[in-house]
A and B are shown apart, each in its own frame.
Chain A
Amino acid sequence: MLNVKNLSFNYGKTRIFKGFNLDIAEKEVTLITGINGVGKSTLLRLMAGVLQPAAGEIRFHEKMGDDPRQHIGFISDTPSLYESMTVGSAIDFHKSVYKIAKFDDSLLKRTKVDHLRKVKELSLGQRVILHLNLILSANPKLLLIDEVIHSIDVYLRGIFLKELIKLLSEKEVTVVFVNLNFRDIENIVDRVILLKNGEIAVDEEIEALKSKVKKITSAARPEGLPVLFEVDFSQHTEFFVYPFKEEYSRQIEGELVDLDLTAIVNAFIGGEYV
């Protein structure tokens, strides 16, 4: 669906990416994660076209047309809309730009968003739902969602995820998430990418990643195993091992635990702060 080639980007004198490469396949649901400031949101913005790379390029599949933004739905970590517009005006504006004939506002009705209210009067969650409704109305082929899910309340988060799952099941959509909270999206993610120092440190299919990252609970450090991160407790220590191989099972003394995506990413990120 998209191909990032030799991408370089700086914020002033701070280098974020240099010679960065990434391919994302069609209909793939990719999660991009990493510590704060590593460039996750920047990468998404570069894909969305709101930032211009200093060098390199981002190529899209030919079905994305001459202007890929026509088929991209992008929600930033801080929803950006014309705040002084009313909800109704914002919808009309969006419809006119994307040439949408009919706008389905059932999502807004469910969240009790009044069309006469100004966007700036809405809560953060309501703005996110409004923005989601707007981008879904344009039938995007590529969805870019940046860390917005966990900043809204549980009810609206449920609605957001329901719409997303519905979209994934009904249409051929490629999704790229940037997220730090994974419980809500673990079941829909295909691939996990961990960024570190402007490069890809980990790039695995989710099931492969789960089989390669294990937690060993033991009093003593396991000998000869690639320990990513460890957490000390009074009675024992938890060792997070990556990449875990089956032959390691024979040599460990302690409890071997499978991890969910949250724990896996926490281990990678925790290892960077040590």
Chain B
Amino acid sequence: MLKKEFMDTFKTLVQCLLLLIILPMAMLLDWHVFHSRWEVSGIWQPVFTAVVIIFAAYAGVSIFQSEKKDRAFEYLLSLPVSIWKIAASKIFPRLVLLLMLIIAGRVFSVFNNIVVDGWSIVILFFIAVFVSLAVESVINGMIGVLLLNIILYYTSLVISYITMEYGLFGSTSPLFLFSHVLPVVLLLIPLAAAFVITMKKFDLKPLKWQAKPYLVIVLPTVLILVSFILVFLKKYLVWIREIG
């Protein structure tokens, strides 16, 4: 099973790496059309970052894609393999290849900004994995993952603003990490709980009938986070303008 999942994940990785073809095409475009003298490193970093992000989201959301595409859920569930072993055999190869990409990104100094780094990409991957059971299609899944990451990002910004504006702790304080870790925890715990509860009773019934934990646990959490962002958004934007 692990061999099959590694092969499937490798195929997904190759498909995502094909996006790197943008790089020579962009250079050709610049030479012949724009003449802006783009540097390879200037294009390489954002393109590679985008590829890694797309791979993380796609690999996470599509962990059961081969079963959906091949109509093999019934066969998979009839095998003498626990649902947790199935989940582990799907997550492990994807995580390994993702970590290899992240290490390559670090070696080539691709992740140069604080928004996108190795940790945030791993978090994005796990959000995608936990969302995978709640969505019927990969496209819907990736849209959901993108929206959740935007909510995560802005929740983190708003908490940072609150901690600094109200003097809870300064930007150099180790506790400042709290403003980045807390939103991750607030989002990942309900997502993971919904995933585990759904997986525990996972069977051949249509996914929409099995995804109730997501409605009961994740949706209220997301609504609370969005409400939190909206309440402080105006003050945050004013604050950004003042310090800008």
Contact = CB atoms under 8 A, between A and B. Distances in A.
**A-B complex is real:** yes
Interface stretch (B17-25, B103-111, B127-135, B201-209): B201-209
Contacts of B70: 81-85, 119-120
Contacts of A123: none
B1 A93 contact: yes
The interface size bin for chain B is 20 to 34
A120 B72 CA distance: 12
17 contacts: A11-B205, A12-B209, A45-B204, A50-B74, A51-B203, A52-B201, A69-B78, A69-B79, A69-B80, A74-B78, A80-B74, A80-B78, A81-B72, A83-B70, A83-B71, A89-B4, A97-B79
Nearest to B3: A96
The 5 closest A-B pairs by CB, nearest first: A80-B74, A70-B80, A69-B80, A50-B77, A80-B75
Contacts of B82: 67
Nearest to A68: B80
B234 interface: no
A126 interface: no
Given A80-B72, A84-B66, A50 B78 contact: yes
Interface of A: 11-12, 45, 48-52, 67, 69-70, 72, 74, 76, 78, 80-85, 89, 93, 96-98, 119-120
B209 A82 contact: no
Nearest to B8: A84
B114 interface: no
A67 B77 contact: no
A166 to B, nearest CB: 23
Contact of B1 (A45, A48, A97): A97
Interface string B56-81: 00000000001101111111011111
Nearest to B2: A96
A96 B1 contact: yes
Contacts of B4: 82, 85, 89, 93
A93 B70 CA distance: 15
A81 B209 CA distance: 23
Nearest to B72: A82
A67 B80 contact: yes
Given A50-B204, A80-B74, A82-B66, 6 more contacts: A50-B73, A50-B74, A80-B73, A82-B4, A85-B70, A96-B1
